[in-house]
Structure 1
Amino acid sequence: MKHLLILGGGTAGTITANKLRKKLSKAEWDITVVDRDDKHDYQPGYLFIPFGIYQPDEVTKSRRKYLSDDIPLIYAEIDRVDAEAKTVSLVDGRVLPYDQLVIATGVTPRPDQTPGMDDEGSWYDSVFDFYTHAGTTALAEKLKTWEGGRLVVNIVEMPIKCPVAPLEFTFLADAFFVEKGMRDKVEIVYVTPLDAAFTKPIAAKAFGTMLEDKGVRLEPEFMLERVDTEAKTLVSYDEREVPYDLLVTIPLNMGADFIARSGLGNELNLVPVDKQTLLSKKFDSIFVLGDANDIPASKAGSVAHFEIEGFVENFMEHIAGRSMTHKFDGHANCFIETGHGKAMLIDFNYDTEPMPGKFPVPGVGPMSLLKETKANHLGKLGFRWAYWNVLMPGRPMPISADLQMAGKKVPVA
């Protein structure tokens, strides 16, 4: 019997386990998933909690419920991977052997990596994140009674999970305060290490214009050095300062600490892999999926979904000793909430930036690319159902894993 061990029971780990269980012979391969608890959060839902659109208990379900019944789920903290011995040691002392390993442990916000950010008395009082269940829940309570002032939305450093989420939060905050009749009491500042509102020029221009139209000030190329919580000020490495009354930050995102202990990752605990096959650059028995790898693509649920479509076929070829023929192109597809019941949609990959058009049916839609529509907003809300009922069980989605150019309008240079 051969052993496939999957570290992480989130989006990438769950989809992978369920899809491979349907492919691999049960007489030849067992599949085991390891994660620290039984709480699987629908992380895109974190965005909506501060504004009362979702409640905290609406985004959490059981990991066990969404894994095939014949896949064991071990609840434990991971200590380290010994890639030479092909074992995984758990904190409780157990050692799990593997023939093939999939690392899908994602990334987490690390406020402790920025001086002052998580100071006692300020963290979850005047400084918040919305990338964790605790953070978004605390922020929801804060916004119920906040009377206004300067709201600063800050990205510490890229890459981060869902790179459009900070923009979405900003747009939703603008709409939230408009609908509460207090927008004139709130100054919103968007502070980013990028030189524009987004990484891709066409989308960056569209988002930048939207920020301007909503009266949001953009502070680009701001590399945060520390948070001065006494003065309520962000301080950059070039000594620029941005004061705040309420800070909503996206802390440095890092991979799991066991990656560092195992000597597998870079300075952010992300594992270097071939960007087309997701195979570790150092070990031919380790694949790294979802946010835990270092590929130059968005750390988003759609990327995990698209990369796994080809990975499953590659894995079957790999264990059969054949060359892997399915090349992941970096495809990402993201809804961007813009407030007041509308949203945008972007579709892009490693080499092609977002552009206007219709999606998923060329010329028909019903979704519009790089355009605010109600249909896109409904698509964003409807995705939660698809996440739990189609993606997690490993069922096919009617969207190509590779970027399709049909229906897109290529801008004239």
Structure 2
Amino acid sequence: MKQVVILGGGTGGNILANRLQKDRRSVRFDLQITVVDPEKDHLYQPGLLFLPFGSTTREKIIRRKRQLLRKEIRLVEQSVTSLDTIARTVTLADGSLLPYDVLVVATGTRIAPEETEGLTGEGWFKNRFDFYTLEGATRLQAALQEFTGGHLVINIVDVPIKCPVAPLEFAFLADDYFKRRGIRNKVKISYVTPLDNAFTKPVAANVFKNLLAEKNIDLVTEFNTGRVENNQIVSWDDRTVDFDLLVTVPLHNGAEFIKNSDIGDDLGFVRVDSATLQNPMHKEIFALGDATSVPASKAGSVAHFESETVHENIMRFLAGDEPLADFDGHSNCFIETGAGKAALIDFSYEVEPLPGSYPLPFFGPLRLLKVTRLNHWGKLAFRLIYWHLMLPARYLPISRHFSLRGKQNIT
């Protein structure tokens, strides 16, 4: 029996496990699929954006991992302490060894606020919060309810981060939230980023920059946060931004055991070929989702599209065939803009977000780089798609391959 071990039961790991188990070739290859994850619960991470504003509840964004995996899949609820790529074993927290014939790393990212001097000091979870964790988002909800005025700062410490548009969404939703409370005139909002614009891709960046300006949200660029002190964020070149309430997007790292292995980079992300998602040194090792070092967004849509490529390449590896250089960096994201509206972007490694129609060319019904109510409803509907179609690896009529059809080529 061939042992396929998937480290991580988040979006990518869950989809891939179910996809592999459903494939009839799994019987022919006599596969035992094992998912390793220390957490009992599966968190719908896009819901963390809405939790601070009271637009969702913990119960709506959490499910038991065991319930989301097909019954034939083995679930090991332990953390991983080390990886031996020569012996092809994973060491678990209880000291036991888990052998593998194929290993998939889907361990995602972890925030590391403690790596920024002063961030997790006396003010942590008092007037400094993250919303990338369940605890942070829950505590931030209470802080926002008590906030009656002052300077709200949304600060990205460094990149890469998971869901790169989420900080922008938070800024837009905060503007709407304070308007609904009737205190927007008492709140100054600043969006502070290490980037030279509001986003990494120029066309989309200009759209978001204009949206920030329309909503009277200050944009502070090329601010590389070095430390936090006296209710100020301080950049490495000693620029400062005062705050009354800080919403931080901390440094992101990969898993520690990956950083200490021969397949990880300095941040703990897995080195893989950007098209095959296979490690160049160890052909039996693949990665997907936020755990990879590929230059694609760390987003749920990317994990979904990558899972199809990894699935096929695992089967090809077991059959002794060459992998498909198949993943093109396809990513799409809804961007909440407040007042029941949202935007949508769709892009790849080579092509930045462009205006147009999605998912059907020339028809849509969703509009790219346009703020519409339908895009907002698409974002809300995605939660149901996520639980009932995406995670069970059921058919979705959206290609993993990026297409220029229906898009306006802006030069």
* Same fold, judged at TM 0.5 (above): yes
Q: Which amino acid letter does the alignment assign opposite residue 8 of structure 2?
A: G
- 1:154 is paired with a residue whose SS is strand
In 2, Cα distance between equivalents of 1:67 and 1:25: 15
Equivalent runs, 1:9-408 vs 2, <5 Å: 9-23=9-23, 24-26=25-27, 28-119=30-121, 121-228=122-229, 231-408=230-407
Counterpart contact for 1:311–1:326, Cα < 8 Å? no
The offset of 1:258, in angstroms, is 1.3
In 1, Cα distance between equivalents of 2:44 and 2:197: 29
Counterpart contact for 2:344–2:369, Cα < 8 Å? yes
Give CA-to-partner distance per residue, 1:197-234, whole Å, 9 cap, x none.
00000000000000011101111001111011xx1000
In 1, Cα distance between equivalents of 2:126 and 2:399: 44
Q: Which amino acid letter does the alignment assign opposite residue 100 of structure 2?
A: Y
The offset of 1:275, in angstroms, is 0.2
- 2:143 is paired with a residue whose SS is helix
Counterpart contact for 1:313–1:326, Cα < 8 Å? no
The offset of 1:109, in angstroms, is 0.9
In 2, Cα distance between equivalents of 1:69 and 1:200: 42
The offset of 1:326, in angstroms, is 4.5
- 2:107 is paired with a residue whose SS is coil
Counterpart contact for 2:286–2:310, Cα < 8 Å? no
The offset of 1:25, in angstroms, is 2.9
- 1:124 is paired with a residue whose SS is coil
Using structure 2 for the length normalisation, give the TM-score.
0.98
Give CA-to-partner distance per residue, 1:80-101, whole Å, 9 cap, x none.
1100000000111110000010
The offset of 1:400, in angstroms, is 0.9
Counterpart contact for 2:20–2:26, Cα < 8 Å? no
List gaps (5 residues or longer) in structure 1: none
Using structure 1 for the length normalisation, give the TM-score.
0.98
- 1:16 is paired with a residue whose SS is helix
In 2, Cα distance between equivalents of 1:114 and 1:283: 34
RMSD between aligned residues: 0.9
Give CA-to-partner distance per residue, 1:360-413, whole Å, 9 cap, x none.
1112111000000000000000000000000100112111111111111111x3
